[in-house]
């Protein structure tokens, strides 16, 4: 029996949905199940539910019956084992399907023109040719109308376990009709009579056996928690220190945080990565079409990987499996998809009273809730951190392998950087959009842009030093499309005008851009700017609407654009003293470097949600000092590595 309306999807529920769909004749020959997901209860329904009340769950299934642009969305009542709603969606494409992508690879391999293009490059043994299907984007190619398309690019591995990205088969692109498994066009950008760009001379293997000798002077770091972790997990309810939240999971968003509270006070109703896009900056035909919506076209949940103790996560770990549906509509469980653990995070606060020499210090600790998705060549780790002092942080860790480009040895292009002999990587961006449904001490909130204002030298500022905080209410959607500004320390504060703190100010939480972050660099009239409108500004604010979840709309694959945030905010709805949702677009502009090859050291991006007058004082005052013996200063042991705290 399901314990809570927001409990994680259970494999038995997927099995019921499969049974109901089969019995209804929806799973016809050739049909693919795109997803089966929980219909999340609305905020009102959740508020009305009390422990002990029956839990009535509905699932939503999306089915692609055939190669046309028709999808069927069905709502299934789990307890009643029946379909309660059925609608047909025309003209849209789902995320790329795994089965179809696999068939696209086989179709390329079998195509004589493709084989001929390989032969021109001296590749006759095609067993180790790696083919990566990419989402196609939307460029107005007539032949692609009404079809689900992938653009396949190729790489050569020396052996099955080689890193294919070391040797792009440059200039060769295959357009495949995914629904029909047919090659539409083999495009060889090296015209007949010209020499194709040769394969790069060096490999790019990153495994230990190919990078020996390994360094030998790293001594072990052991994380021990002899009394176990300080958090508890009951169903999907996580409690740690004064925090409480429910874990959620979605094939596209990956990890979702539901009903995040501190000391029983509401902060976030729901938080997730709603979309992300990776647009490339090369204008040429070989790389210029590349832009992947890694949430909406691939799925950060669908591409998530099982995590391993001692490697991905250290310490006392609690793993949670991700339950989804495979393309046959039966349960698909990714074991150990979500990792939870505590981390010591240096000092939390400290002061030495110089009059008395008295020394007070507290350790900072955070609860880490994470998952890691492998989307083609890249890895994205999503790490939510909760801190003892009320801070909430999302850190995205970007790693994996660059998308590469073959160039003549010694060469590059104006739009790529060389990373190895004969190998370059085009410039690109990774732009994420977090959907943050803040409910700060209740649902009626408003958003203020806060920044500092500098005053001109004059009678009010005789020494020219003055600056002061200013707060501007973001009154409606059109005026709430904002960008970061480091010089003015710009941030956005969500306040509850009905609840004041002990200095008479409304309680609030502040969204803080912790790192420099770009917006989309593509021109406003470009295809990608229309499709990834969310990335054109760092901040968007909307009034709560449970149907508005994904920043580029529900079906961004090959979509011509305009969906999601630009469409929703066109009505310029009121944002004052209502239930607000923040959308924060952030990320990195990646100018590849040799050090990013053959596997990229983690690059970080993210943001912070910090209490701003939510508490009356430092909420970590009650964190106890480290136990005696754990923390000591003994001068005669100052060089003793056994001393735990200096
Ligand atoms: Cu990158």
Looking at per-residue pLDDT, the higher value among 72 and 2 belongs to 72
Rounded to an integer, what distance in angstroms lies between the CA atom of residue 252 and that of residue 136?
A: 18
Give pLDDT, residue 434.
98
Please compute the mean of the pLDDT values over residues 497-511 and round it to a whole number: 98
CB-CB contact of 166 with 140 (8 Å): no
pLDDT of residue 252: 98
Q: How many CB atoms lie within 10 A of CB 575?
A: 23
pLDDT single digits (tens) 219-268: 999 999 999 999 999 999 999 999 999 999 999 999 999 999 999 999 99
Distance 276 CA to ligand 1 centre (A): 13
Catalytic option among 165, 252, 280, 378: 378
CA of residue 410 to ligand 1 center, whole Å: 22
Q: What percent of the chain has pLDDT over 70?
A: 97
pLDDT at 170 > cutoff 50:
yes
CA distance 137 to 135: 6
Residue 279 Cα to ligand 1 midpoint, Å, equals: 10
Tokens 């998308």 belong to which residue? Answer: 403
- Considering only CA atoms, give the Rg of the chain: 27
Q: pLDDT band at 631, cuts 50/70/90?
A: low
Rounded to the nearest integer, the mean pLDDT of the chain is 95
User: Pick from 375, 447, 438, 432: which is nearest to 552 by CA?
Assistant: 432
Q: Is 321 an active-site residue?
A: no
How far apart, in whole angstroms, are the C-alpha atoms of residue 550 and residue 532?
Answer: 11
147 CA to centre of ligand 1 in angstroms = 29
- Of 287, 239, 277, whose CA–CA distance to 261 is shortest? 239
pLDDT band at 634 (very low <50, low <70, confident <90, very high): low
pLDDT tens figures, 11-21: 999 999 999 99
**Stretch (H or E) spanning 492:** strand 491-500
Q: What is the CA(298)–ligand 1 centre distance, in A? A: 17
Number of H helices, E strands in the chain: 6, 30
- H or E stretch including 317? none
Reading the block at residue 639, the tokens are 């060089």
Residue 639 pLDDT level (bands cut at 50, 70, 90) = very low
For CA atoms 11, 13, 14, 19, give the dihedral sign: positive
* Catalytic (active site) residue 188: no
Average pLDDT over residues 285-292: 95
C-alpha 430 – ligand 1 centre gap (Å)? 6
* DSSP helix/strand/coil, 570: helix
pLDDT at 643 over 50: no
**Percent of the chain scored above 90 by pLDDT?**
93
Residue 644: predicted pLDDT? 41
For residue 520, the CA-to-ligand 1 centroid distance in Å is 14
Average pLDDT on 324-341 reads 98
Mean pLDDT of 372-381: 97
Q: Report how far residue 495's alpha carbon sits from residue 440's, in angstroms, rounded to the nearest whole number.
A: 7
φ, ψ for residue 17 (rounded to 5)? -60, -40
Residue 637 confidence (pLDDT) above 60:
no
Tell how far the Cα of 402 is from the centroid of ligand 1, in angstroms. Answer: 6
The yes-or-no verdict on residue 635 having pLDDT over 60 is no
Question: Which one from 294, 439, 441, 579 is the annotated catalytic residue?
Answer: 294
d(CA 106, CA 103): 5
| pLDDT value of residue 642 | 39
Model confidence, pTM: 0.96
Q: Classify the C-alpha dihedral 243-248-249-250 as positive or negative.
A: negative
Q: Which residue in 423, 361, 397, 384 sits closest to 592, CA to CA?
A: 423
| pLDDT for position 628 | 79
562-611: pLDDT as tens digits: 999 999 999 999 999 999 999 999 999 999 999 999 999 999 999 999 99
């Amino acid at each position: 029996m399901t314990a809570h309306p927001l409990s994680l999807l259970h494999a038995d529920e997927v099995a019921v949905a499969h049974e109901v769909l089969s019995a209804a004749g929806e799973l016809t020959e050739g049909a693919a199940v795109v997803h089966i997901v929980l219909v999340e209860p609305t905020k009102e329904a959740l508020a009305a539910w009390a422990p002990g009340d029956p839990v009535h769950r509905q699932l939503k299934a999306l089915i692609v019956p055939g190669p046309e642009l028709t999808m069927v969305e069905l709502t299934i009542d789990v307890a009643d084992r029946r379909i309660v709603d059925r609608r047909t969606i025309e003209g849209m494409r789902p995320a790329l399907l795994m089965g179809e992508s696999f068939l696209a690879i086989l179709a390329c391999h079998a195509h004589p023109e493709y084989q001929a293009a390989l032969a021109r490059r001296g590749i006759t043994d095609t067993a180790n040719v790696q083919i990566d299907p990419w989402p196609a984007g939307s460029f107005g190619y007539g032949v692609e109308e009404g079809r689900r398309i992938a653009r396949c690019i190729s790489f050569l591995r020396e052996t099955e376990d080689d890193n294919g990205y070391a040797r792009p088969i440059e200039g060769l692109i295959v357009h495949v009709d995914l629904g029909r498994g047919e090659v539409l066009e083999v495009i060889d950008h090296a015209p007949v009579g010209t020499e194709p760009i040769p394969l790069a001379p060096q490999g790019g293997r990153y495994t230990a056996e190919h990078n020996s000798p390994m360094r030998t002077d790293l001594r072990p770091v052991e994380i021990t928690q002899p009394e176990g972790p300080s958090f508890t997990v009951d169903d999907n309810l996580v409690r740690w220190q004064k925090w409480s939240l429910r874990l959620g999971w979605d094939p596209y968003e990956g990890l979702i945080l539901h009903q995040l509270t501190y000391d029983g006070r509401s902060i976030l109703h729901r938080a997730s990565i709603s979309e992300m896009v990776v647009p490339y900056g090369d204008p040429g035909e070989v790389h210029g079409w590349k832009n992947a919506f890694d949430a909406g076209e691939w799925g950060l949940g669908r591409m998530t990987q099982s995590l391993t103790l001692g490697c991905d996560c250290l310490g006392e770990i609690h793993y949670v499996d991700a339950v989804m549906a495979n393309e046959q509509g039966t349960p698909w469980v990714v074991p150990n998809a979500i990792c939870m653990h505590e981390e010591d995070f240096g000092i939390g606060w400290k002061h030495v009273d110089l009059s008395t020499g008295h020394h007070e210090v507290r350790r900072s600790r955070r609860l880490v809730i994470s998952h890691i998705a492998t989307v083609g060549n890249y890895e994205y780790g999503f790490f939510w951190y909760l801190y003892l002092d009320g801070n909430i942080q999302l850190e995205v860790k970007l790693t994996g392998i660059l998308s590469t480009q073959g160039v003549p040895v010694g060469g590059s292009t104006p739009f790529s950087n060389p990373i190895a002999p004969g190998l370059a990587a085009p410039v690109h961006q990774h732009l994420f959009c977090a959907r943050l449904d803040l409910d700060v001490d209740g649902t009626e909130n408003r958003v203020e842009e806060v920044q500092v204002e500098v005053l001109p030298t004059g009678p009010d500022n005789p020494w020219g030093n003055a600056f002061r905080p200013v707060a501007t209410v973001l009154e409606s959607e059109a005026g709430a499309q904002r960008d970061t500004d480091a010089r003015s320390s710009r941030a956005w504060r969500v306040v509850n005008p009905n609840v004041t703190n002990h200095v008479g100010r409304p309680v609030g939480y502040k969204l803080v851009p912790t790192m420099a972050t770009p917006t989309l660099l593509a021109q406003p009239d470009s295809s990608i700017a229309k499709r990834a409108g969310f990335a054109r500004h760092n901040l968007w604010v909307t009034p709560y609407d449970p149907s508005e979840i994904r920043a580029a709309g529900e079906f961004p694959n090959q979509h011509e654009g305009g969906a999601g945030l630009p469409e929703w905010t066109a009505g310029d709805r009121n944002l004052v003293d209502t239930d607000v949702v923040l959308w924060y677009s952030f990320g990195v502009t990646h100018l590849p470097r040799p050090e990013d090859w053959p596997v990229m050291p983690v690059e970080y991006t993210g943001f912070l949600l910090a209490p701003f007058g939510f508490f009356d004082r430092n909420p970590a005052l009650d964190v106890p000092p480290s136990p005696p013996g754990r923390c000591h200063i003994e001068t005669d042991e100052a060089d003793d590595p056994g001393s735990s705290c200096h």
